Amino acid sequence: MAKASIPSLGLGTFRLKGEQLMGSIHKALDLGYRHIDTAQMYDNEETVGAALDAHDVPRDEVFLTTKIWHDRLRHDDLLKSLQESVNRLRVDSVDLALIHWPSPGDEVPMEEYIGALAEAKQRGLARHVGVSNFTVAQLEKARGLPGGEHLITNQVEVHPFLTNRKVIEAVKSAGLTVTAYMPLAVGKVMEDDTLKKLAEKYDATPAQLMLAWLHQQDIVVIPSSTKEAHLKANLAALELRIEDDDVAIIESLDRGERIADPDFAPDWDR
């Protein structure tokens, strides 16, 4: 099943580069992480590949995700760009290749890039394929296209201030996995008084509370961290169980606050 194929907790690598990224990956692998998330746009695939190469964890034990940027969505260019990613990552194939953003203004027809993504899977460049930042309507359209049946996830922004409920429900209804990025709302979670107070009840940090809240919903999370203590705490968060009343408190903080909202973003679900 699709849900079982993506490890529950991954290491996000957005904004991490060089020695800092290398160290973060090695610490994470030492602690037992087996899921690394990168993207062409992060400009760090070479470092991710080198870090995995240098570590003694067997390559086939690490679930590796990358994402194809929206300027490489034409059929031939998508396949070429994914081959370039695979080469930079020093692997034969990635475990998951995602369309990072739907084509801005539908400049490239969705049929073209969903078809190319399926072809990439067929060619062995990716074991699994999916999308990121797709609205409910876009996901429905993609799934109805040739090749759309292969999609296993929609990676979207989810945190207490943007619960993204409509998208989550649509992804789950389709039998796909939700992957949450920015689960800590770029640190805002740690500053929220309600979450700080609630976390004390569970002898946890607000960050752990958030990861547990998402994990409880069967949502894959990919927080980034460079500190061993935080990486450890993130793993431990998966053992927490939050009571229903407290889940309601967390979800009452939703204010539609979207952090990743570039000018080429789709018309979001409200």
Q: Is residue 262 part of a domain?
A: no
Domain count, the chain: 1
Question: Which amino acid belongs to residue 116?
Answer: A
Q: Is residue 243 part of a domain?
A: no
Q: How far apart are CA 64 and CA 248, in angstroms?
A: 33
Q: What is the pLDDT of residue 102?
A: 98
Q: Which residues of the chain have pLDDT under 50?
A: 1-4
CATH number at residue 130: 3.20.20.100
Q: Is residue 23 part of a domain?
A: yes
Q: What is the pLDDT of residue 5?
A: 85
CA 244 to chain centre: 25
The one catalytic residue among 42, 113, 181, 202: 42
Helices (H) and strands (E) in the chain, counts: 11, 8
Q: Is residue 208 part of a domain?
A: no
What is the β-pairing status of strands 35-37 and 220-221?
unpaired
Q: Is residue 106 part of a domain?
A: yes
Q: Is the C-alpha dihedral spanning 21, 27, 29, 33 positive or negative?
A: negative
- At 210-233, the pLDDT tens digits run 999 999 999 999 999 999 999 999
Q: Is residue 256 part of a domain?
A: no
Model-level pTM? 0.97
> Annotated catalytic, 42?
yes
The residue behind tokens 């009452």 is 252
3-state helix, strand, coil in the chain (%, to 5): 50, 15, 35
Asked if 52 and 36 touch (Cβ cutoff 8 Å), the reply is: yes
Q: What is the pLDDT of residue 150?
A: 97
Q: Is residue 42 part of a domain?
A: yes
Q: What is the pLDDT of residue 200?
A: 98
CB count within 10 Å of CB 266 equals: 16
According to DSSP, the residues that pair with 98 across neighbouring strands are 67, 130
Q: Is residue 27 part of a domain?
A: yes
76 is in which domain, residue-wise?
2-184+219-224
Q: What is the pLDDT of residue 1?
A: 34
